[in-house]
Amino acid sequence: MDAVDFITLNKMTIVELDGSVNIQLNEYIDDAELDDIVRAVPLEQKAEMKQILNRERIARTINRNTAPVQKTGFSIPRLVFVDENERIDFMDEDALMEAAEWCVLDYSHELPHFRINKSGDTFEIDISEQNKVIWSSDEYREREDELLFKLPDLDKLDLINWLDKEIRRQDISQWENIQFINNTLIYLMENKGFSLEQLFLAKFQLALALKELIKANILKAKEKGYQSLIVEQEERLAVDFKYSFPFVPGLDAYPVSAPYYKGSYQFKKHLYELIGNMNDEEVLCAQELDRHPLVKTWVRNLERKPQSSFWLPTSTDRFYPDFVAELNDGRVMVVEYKGEMLEDNRDTKDKTFIGNLWAKLSKRKGLFLMAVKKDSLGMDLKGQVERCFC
């Protein structure tokens, strides 16, 4: 630890007992100080040291003497689409599909990766690029014998009707479903060279492949609707407190389920007594909100709870930010934390786009932060939160 400066060392208590070393923090250390300490230990101890220090940081508060916070509810304005008749749409999945004028027949019916291969004593059925089923030759022969016994009484319409029942969806009419299946069977028989017998034999795998294809088509339709509603018609979007999601006191309004946050850091400004589960880095982000004097109260936003959480639309799904907060100056804040491995993926870029658009349309009444452990300018979490407030 000789390479660690004296001030940082004074923030730690190191006790050696029976050959093991116990480290406790007397004061909170920031990311730069943590990195200095980790650099000073041998390579084989770095990961363990980092884990210990992060746990200690979670367990420490900078100021334990803060007076209890008076917690009141707050609201986060939602992003809405206002049509030419001034009707409001909250842009859920149905709205995106409607904007795309969804019809399954407008999308691909082809299954280029569907194939049946014999290899040694096994048969492989490739459902898609990533998904395959493997049978032994005996299993395949048993199914083949059973099918050949029944085949004189079966025709293409029997297969279509069976597949129609197997893959039926509420958002696709039966007529469209049958047409889609028929188009796929024509493709497989005429372009891929499958016989009707082979397709009957692999009907369960074929149904699975069709379901995956339809899901992929739905994603494309949602992207089209998203492009139409949000990217191409920004002038019709609004963020207004008239259309807000309310966070009100009382656990009835916060349906959190186990696992809960059970760390030793005592949060003072969370609106609810229970807090949704967080990983170590998310806890550090929550601490920055909890201890900042400008933050009045905050909530660990719950995922997949559209009636109880704030969300924004993306082209693939609903985006539930990690944290929402009310500031003492009347503004509100939305924060999403991303780990290092996820900083540059498409999901993060989509969330950053819609979060920044929400903040822009709020006319500075709402702030959005895509937080990372250390940003491209070398700024840590505390600095990122502070900069967002400016």
Task: Convert 109-118 to b/e letters by CB count within 10 Å (16 or more is b).
Answer: bebeebbbee
> Is there a contact between 374 and 324 (Cβ–Cβ < 8 Å)?
no
**Separation in Å, CA 265 to CA 161, 341, 343:** 59, 26, 27
**Tens-digit pLDDT string for the chain (390 aa):** 555 666 666 777 776 655 566 677 767 777 778 888 888 888 888 888 888 887 777 665 444 444 555 678 999 999 999 988 888 888 888 999 999 999 999 999 999 988 877 654 544 556 665 655 554 556 656 655 555 545 556 789 999 999 999 999 999 999 999 999 999 999 999 999 999 988 988 888 899 999 999 999 999 999 999 999 999 999 999 998 899 999 999 888 999 988 889 888 889 999 999 999 999 999 999 999 999 999 999 999 999 899 999 999 998 889 999 999 999 999 999 999 997 655 568 889 999 999 999 999 999 899 999 999 988 888 999 999 999 998
CA distance 46 to 49: 5
Taking residue 208's Cβ as centre, other Cβ atoms within 10 Å add up to 18
> Is there a contact between 286 and 382 (Cβ–Cβ < 8 Å)?
no
Strand-pair category, 132-136 with 312-313:
unpaired
Residue 123, both tokens:
């048969």
CA distance 299 to 318: 18
Compute the chain's Rg from CA coordinates. Answer: 28
333 forms beta bridges with 325, 367
13 forms beta bridges with 24
Strand-pair category, 122-126 with 132-136:
antiparallel
246 forms beta bridges with 75
Give CATH for domain 74-90+248-389.
3.40.1350
Predicted local distance difference test score (pLDDT) of residue 53: 80
Residue 101, both tokens:
């004028």
373 forms beta bridges with none
CA distance 81 to 89: 5
Predicted local distance difference test score (pLDDT) of residue 272: 94
Predicted local distance difference test score (pLDDT) of residue 61: 45
Residues 6 or more apart whose CB falls under 8 angstroms from that of 4 comprise 36, 37, 40
Question: What residues does each domain of the chain span?
Answer: 6-59, 74-90+248-389, 97-226
User: Which amino acid, residue 357?
Assistant: L
Reduced to 3 states, what is the DSSP secondary structure of residue 42? coil
Maximum alpha-carbon separation in the chain? 88
Predicted local distance difference test score (pLDDT) of residue 238: 95
